[in-house]
Each structure stands twice: as structure tokens, then as C-alpha cells.
């Protein structure tokens, strides 16, 4: 993979990450506060679920 492809992928991550706070700031804030209230174990499980889900979606998109 070329460096410019990695840079473009990171730019897309920033765009996607900015969509929710821009479109629905109150709901985004409520979700962030709910996530802040989770235990360390809960956050790890949530993070692992996102990692597995993202990897599966990436694999299916080939």
C-alpha cells in the first residue's frame, strides 16, 4: 500500500468521525457521556466489538 492511500484512509476516518457531532451534537454528547460511564471491561468489550465488526465489514467489501 502506498503512503498516499494510507493518508487518504485517515482523512476518511476524520470525515466519518466528524459526521455525528456535526449532524446531531446532542445525541453524540449523550452517547459519549454514556460511554464515559462504562467500566474499563465494558469499554474493552465495546472496542473489541467495533474492531471485529470493522474487520468483518472490510473483509466483506473486497
Contact 21, 28 (CB under 8 A): yes
Contact 35, 46 (CB under 8 A): yes
CA separation, residue 37 to residues 26, 27, 30, 45, 52 (Å) = 17, 15, 11, 14, 23
Mean pLDDT of 22-37: 96
Task: Please report the pLDDT score of residue 28 as a whole number.
Answer: 96
Contact 37, 29 (CB under 8 A): no
Largest CA distance in the chain: 39
Task: Please report the pLDDT score of residue 2 as a whole number.
Answer: 87
Question: Mean pLDDT in the chain?
Answer: 93
Mean pLDDT of 12-20: 94
Mean pLDDT of 54-58: 91
**Prediction pTM value:** 0.72
Amino acid at each position: 500500500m502506498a503512503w498516499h492511500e494510507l493518508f487518504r484512509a485517515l482523512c476518511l476516518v476524520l470525515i466519518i468521525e466528524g459526521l455525528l457531532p456535526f449532524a446531531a451534537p446532542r445525541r453524540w454528547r449523550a452517547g459519549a457521556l454514556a460511554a464515559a460511564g462504562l467500566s474499563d471491561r465494558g469499554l474493552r468489550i465495546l472496542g473489541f466489538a467495533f474492531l471485529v465488526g470493522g474487520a468483518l465489514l472490510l473483509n466483506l467489501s473486497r
